[in-house]
Amino acid sequence: MRILHFADAHIGIETHGKLDPASGLNTRLLDFVRCLEYIVDAAIERQVDVVLFAGDAYDYANPTPTYQKLFGAQMKRLSDAGIPTVLIVGNHDMPVSYGKASPLELFGVLGVPNIHVAVKPQVINVTTRSGVLQVACLPYPNRSALLTREEVRAMSEEEIAKRIEGICSDCISSMAERLSHDAPSVLLAHVAAWNAVYAGSERTAELSTEPKLMLSALAMPQFKYVALGHIHKYQDLNPSGAPHVVYSGSIDRCDFAEENEQKGFCVVSIADGVELEFLETPARRFVTIDVNMHGLKNPTQALINAIMERNVKDAIVRIRYSCTDEQQTTIDWKAVEQALSGAFRVVSVARQVEKPLQRPQAVITEQMSTIEALRRYIRHKSELKELEDELIRYAQQLESELIRESAT
């Protein structure tokens, strides 16, 4: 049996895009749709038995009709090709308040053939050309669906995360126990995992107190494969297999922070053993060019050389340079523009200005949580010390609102 697993389509990301006059759509939207189309093409050409989509179809829970039409058209192609497809709801597809619908539910309501949607944890028995596949589905664990308002109020962010982690682990093991031994099973989940490496643009999510599952809660022996969504960086959390626990990653690059990441999807063959293949999508390239021109005679040439050394063709480019005021006046911007003419888009050419340090800074590292970092900062500033408790309280409030609204 062959499975195509992908996740995090994020239809609706338009950052660094511009209007495409031919279609009237944003060029970044078109990039993501091109990658989605590529994945659907692959599913049809390779005649996979089933497609598993691990959540975050859209970038937010109220996608415009345009976004829904674009995503829906690709799902329709899978449906028409007779390829059963399972969609689960990610945090971005999930309405903030309990009781409201996810945009993915439309496929279920309309009864689109071959499309299955899981809004809640459930096992879906999918009939494929190669037999039945049991798909244990764990959509994003939404706190407003799992905990009452009173419970949330009485707990700290850490306690809430711990509680939800427990609920999810129990939920996965109870689904695993109820599976039949007569057909293969997989887990399809939209969730963070403790040993996952976040994509470049997801630093805030890493520092947040969102629930994260242990590898042991995911890699249960009943599953032949664990298909994950949520984290944008492709990775196998259990490379020794038995089972592979895989984030297929987002289908395109979301920002410069994902510049050096491969983007794509997974094709998994389940027979006596399990074979995992990662295939790249035609994702948009991002290129950052850093140039230090101090001490150089010809700053313009230095800029042009730095551009020529990199492949900027069809890429989204940003340039960060440093120079003296005197050098700045001599730069021939027409010539620089010429060197960049093959780029898809140049989003910034920014001079880095070094500011002299007035007093020693508080040491804040990426390993700290947002709250720890804020506390360190406050303690470093004598004038803020009295406000510490209040500031921390507001920051926690802000952080939890942000997590609820977006997360990854």
Among 5, 10, 212, 230, binds Mn ion (CB under 5 A): 230
Cβ–Cβ < 8 Å for 80, 44: no
* Stretch near Mn ion under the rule CB under 5 A, chosen from 55-63, 202-210, 303-311, 357-365: 55-63
What number of other Cβ atoms are within 10 A of residue 299's Cβ?
A: 22
Tokens of 194: 């403790």
What is the residue-wise DSSP string for 310-334? S--TT-EEEEEEE--HHHHHH--HH
Among 31, 49, 56, 206, binds Mn ion (CB under 5 A): 56
Least distance from Mn ion to the Cβ atom of residue 400, Å: 17
Q: Counting contacts by CB under 5 A, is residue 91 touching Mn ion?
A: yes
Q: 266 - beta bridge partners?
A: 5, 278
198 versus 223: smaller Cβ distance to Mn ion: 198
| Residue count, binding to Mn ion (CB under 5 A) | 5
Q: Counting contacts by CB under 5 A, is residue 202 touching Mn ion?
A: no
* Stretch near Mn ion under the rule CB under 5 A, chosen from 12-20, 212-220, 230-238, 269-277: 230-238
Least distance from Mn ion to the Cβ atom of residue 230, Å: 4
Site string for Mn ion, 334-373 (x = CB under 5 A): ----------------------------------------
- State the pairing for strand pair 192-193/212-213: parallel
CA 158 to chain centre: 23
CB-facing half-sphere around the CA of 352: CA atoms within 13 A: 12
* Stretch near Mn ion under the rule CB under 5 A, chosen from 88-96, 129-137, 309-317, 328-336: 88-96
90 versus 139: smaller Cβ distance to Mn ion: 90
**Helix, strand or coil for residue 204?**
helix
Least distance from Mn ion to the Cβ atom of residue 190, Å: 6
Q: Counting contacts by CB under 5 A, is residue 210 touching Mn ion?
A: no
Cβ–Cβ < 8 Å for 244, 225: yes
Least distance from Mn ion to the Cβ atom of residue 205, Å: 8
| DSSP assigned state of 193 | E
Q: How distant, in Å, are the alpha carbons of 6, 65, 77, 157 from that of 229?
A: 8, 24, 22, 23
Least distance from Mn ion to the Cβ atom of residue 258, Å: 14
Least distance from Mn ion to the Cβ atom of residue 189, Å: 11
Give the DSSP H or E segment for 20: strand 19-20
Cβ–Cβ < 8 Å for 194, 206: no
Least distance from Mn ion to the Cβ atom of residue 92, Å: 5
Per-residue burial over 236-249, b = 16 or more CB atoms within 10 Å of its CB, e = otherwise: bbbeeeebbbbbbb
Q: Is the link from the previous residue into 243 a cis peptide, with omega within 30 of 0?
A: yes
* Stretch near Mn ion under the rule CB under 5 A, chosen from 143-151, 205-213, 229-237, 364-372: 229-237
- State the pairing for strand pair 185-190/225-229: parallel
90 versus 264: smaller Cβ distance to Mn ion: 90
Least distance from Mn ion to the Cβ atom of residue 191, Å: 9
Among 12, 17, 72, 90, binds Mn ion (CB under 5 A): 90
209 versus 408: smaller Cβ distance to Mn ion: 408
Q: Give the residues lining the site for Mn ion (CB under 5 A).
A: 56, 90-91, 230, 408
